[in-house]
Structure 1
Amino acid sequence: MASTGSGFVTCLWFDGRAEEAANYYLSIFPNSLITNTMRYPPSSNPSTSTSEPGAVMSIEFSLNGHKFVGLNGGPHFQFSEAISFMVDCKDQEEVDWYWEKLGEGREGRCGWIKDRFGVSWQVIPKQLKQFLSSGDGEKSKKCMEKMRTMGKMDIEGLRKAFEGVEE
């Protein structure tokens, strides 16, 4: 059966902070916007309502063309590193920008960092992918070993490891 939709939408489950998260991500990623907000309707039985009438139930947004829905689903589920979003960076300036904005001073490892909502991100320079897929197993291995010692990716350090240059 062929899909009739226009692609995939990533749903992120938040505990009452979906609108805050959407606005936070829009402040970081260019070419991003909120496309729809759904609110909880007035409830005929307040004891069965999951949230206050008028509160945000879900918010749809796009980050650099990738569609998301932020769902205020309650405290039942938390994010884990089993799912992460990779930010492909063209240079060290982009790596530094996204690392700082997403991590807000938090520590990370091997290019992975969690944001204030617990969502995991991989802030990866395109050069790392080039080094690791170069076809030169020994150089790629040295680059991988260097990457494993890093928090935020350092392109120059990765390049030196790949080229076998002593630091």
Structure 2
Amino acid sequence: MVDASRANLTAQLSTKDLPGPRGMFTAAVGRSAATFVWESADGRFCSGSAATDGGFTSTMCGSDHRDNPFSVRPALVPLLSTYTFAEVHVFGADREIVRSVTCNGRPVAVRRLPPVLDGRRALYAFALSEPTAGRVTVTVVRGRAAATEHVELLGGGLRHKASCR
């Protein structure tokens, strides 16, 4: 299923937006679609989603490799927030390691992806089954100390949807 989605997505990419030598990383998988992220050959961050049957594809690439610079301080760097088959978030962790993601104290499955920016930025992804308001809590380790950060969700002011605080 993932291979079919990847093939459909790759077929729609321009030559300049094709994945560089490290390939595409799977950020999230749905019943009939998947979301991927990658670095282009010239170092731009790209993302895309595709159905297995070719029913839809969606792609986006930064215009320059400097669009998402490496942080001089420990930081979470939001890279992708989208809703296709699920609410999918991809973020980088500069100078810190993500230990957990929670919504209202409940664990959210987080996927660690291969690093980018010459191995300096760790990438993480998580998916929520529906648009969700609020933000998730991210526990990180900086050196030997734990810290708490947050990732804003897409639900905004949706009062009738699920919410993380």
Shorter chain as denominator, the TM-score bin is under 0.3
- Taking structure 2 as the reference length, the TM-score comes to 0.25
- Taking structure 1 as the reference length, the TM-score comes to 0.24
- Ranked by relative contact order (alpha carbons within 8 Å, sequence separation 6 or more), the top structure is 1
Bigger fraction of residues in helix: 1
The structure whose Rg is larger is: 1
Bigger fraction of residues in strand: 2
